[in-house]
Chains A and B, each alone.
Chain A
Amino acid sequence: MIKFTVIDRNGERREVEVPEDINLNLMELLKASEYEILATCGGMALCATCRVDVESGLAQLASPQDQELDMLDTLPDAVPESRLACQLRVNEQLEGIVIRIKGDLA
């Protein structure tokens, strides 16, 4: 199992536990877990509504591709720890990380 921590918009922390072979990206998982995100573009790194800030464990994640960096670059309030959840596969790289949900809701 892969375990990591999600902090929602109200600041509530919850540990999420998922099987290694779940084969989803983090956006899909957050949506399926009823977290409040829009994910308007459905995972194409176009809308940034699935943005999360990685509060712990950033270094262990696969580096962002150009398309994700370009999108993060345009956001007014992104920080160096920001990632797009749709571009992160749910796999062992996520073990122990802490993320905070940030993307726009409108």
Chain B
Amino acid sequence: MTTNTIHTDLCIIGAGPVGLFAVFEAGLLKMRCHLVDALPQVGGQLSEIYPHKPIYDIPGFPEVKAQELVDNLMEQIKPFDPGFTLGERVEKLNRLANGIFAVETNDGTIIHCKAVVIAGGLGCFEPRKPEIENLLAFEGKGVSYMVKDPEVYRNKKVVLAGGGDSALDWTIFLANIAKEVTLVHRGDTFRGAPDSAEKVFKLAEMGKINLILSSHLTKVSGNGTLKSVHLINKAKEELTLDGDYLIPLFGLSPKLGPIAEWNLNIDKSAISVNTEDYSTNIDGIYAIGDINTYPGKLKLILSGFHEAALMAQSAFKHVFPDQKLSFKYTTVYGVNSF
């Protein structure tokens, strides 16, 4: 873990299109920005999920590919020389005695700023947790949602659950490491990569793994650490498996993550804002783009751009409390870099 403190005016959480454009709007008002994103590259969903898809509703662009829009935004904000911390997830937010915010990532990077702009889009993608009795109580005590170090499972009894590619792949991988591997799937077929599915069926035939189909998990139990995984099948028969570890692999789902713990007003997984300036209930914290909500909210990139502009006008008072803001057109004054 590194400790690295960055000083800036605005810390923008999320480097998607709206976070990037916020740098431009802030830059026009001479505010410096630092962006943090959990993904290893800028662009958010656009770069991660649909880089080659055309977007048709960006004003002035009859059609623009998602990645092209991101590249253009990067070009547009270049004069304002923003800082980037990529591949790190924001975990903590504190307010120091002098009113400065301290934003901290999972990797120990600390950003000191005068205002925080949450442009987190869908939030961060976290493992989907099945509804199983006692599951949360055994997290870290036998239950984990990803395989970080396969060696942990050497000579142990491991139960995996899920029907997607990662369930298949880890079943195959752990078959050679663990003492016993059981894969539980609620269906009786796998749609994942046909090669992997075939391999799993073959391993089951050879007795190298246990494959339990048409069943789902109901409960986990143990004494401090995990001991048993309880299942039920289609015929409503119950079954108990011995297991040192349970790895539920049910994909990822977008969650607000640590942001949900910051005492912001949340409505249906989105941050409530005042549409006058997209401020939240906490002075100095703004939320723009898909992560916010207000009456009439449209989850559109262009709405986020508008929100970024109004946010910047308002954030100015936190960055330059003694200055009076006068609105200027870029057509008159141009774009003055730092």
The contact of B254 among A41, A70, A75, A76, by CB within 8 Å, is A41
A46/B128 in contact, CB under 8 A:
no
Among the listed stretches B18-26, B98-106, B156-164, B239-247, which one makes contact with chain A, having 4 or more residues with CB under 8 Å of it? B156-164
Task: Give the interface residue-count category, chain B.
Answer: 20 to 34
A74/B251 in contact, CB under 8 A:
yes
> Does A40 make an interface contact (CB < 8 A)?
yes
B299/A76 in contact, CB under 8 A:
no
- A72 closest partner in B (C-beta): B191
B164/A76 in contact, CB under 8 A:
no
- A42 closest partner in B (C-beta): B299
Give the residue among A47, A49, A69 with the most B Cβ atoms within 10 A: A47
Within 8 A of A (CB), among B177-224: 186-187, 190-192, 216-217
Q: Which residues of chain B are near A42, meaning CB under 8 Å?
A: 290, 299
> Does B138 make an interface contact (CB < 8 A)?
no
B269/A106 in contact, CB under 8 A:
yes
> Does A2 make an interface contact (CB < 8 A)?
no
Within 8 A of B (CB), among A36-55: 38, 40-42, 44, 46-49
Q: In whole angstroms, what is the CA distance A38 to B163 when docked?
A: 24
Q: Classify the interface of chain B: helix, strand, loop or mixed.
A: loop
B269/A73 in contact, CB under 8 A:
no
> Does B122 make an interface contact (CB < 8 A)?
yes
A46/B49 in contact, CB under 8 A:
yes
> What are the interface flags for A11-38 relative to B under an 8 Å C-beta threshold, 1 for contact and 0 otherwise?
0000000000000000000000000001
The contact of A38 among B162, B164, B191, B269, by CB within 8 Å, is B269
B254/A46 in contact, CB under 8 A:
yes
B248/A76 in contact, CB under 8 A:
yes
Q: Which residues of chain A are near B251, meaning CB under 8 Å?
A: 71, 74-75
Q: In whole angstroms, what is the CA distance A106 to B187 when docked?
A: 24
A77/B162 in contact, CB under 8 A:
no
> Does B108 make an interface contact (CB < 8 A)?
no
Chain A to chain B contacts (Cβ below 8 Å), 22 pairs: A38-B268, A40-B254, A42-B290, A44-B45, A44-B49, A47-B122, A47-B254, A49-B253, A70-B191, A71-B251, A73-B164, A73-B187, A73-B190, A74-B128, A74-B163, A74-B249, A75-B250, A76-B130, A76-B217, A77-B131, A77-B186, A78-B186
Interface residues of A (CB under 8 A from B): 38, 40-42, 44, 46-49, 69-71, 73-78, 80, 104, 106
**Interchain residue pairs A-B with the least CB separation, the first 9:** A74-B251, A76-B130, A74-B164, A42-B299, A76-B250, A73-B191, A73-B164, A40-B254, A74-B250
Interface residues of B (CB under 8 A from A): 45, 49-50, 122-123, 128, 130-131, 161-164, 186-187, 190-192, 216-217, 248-251, 253-254, 268-269, 290, 299
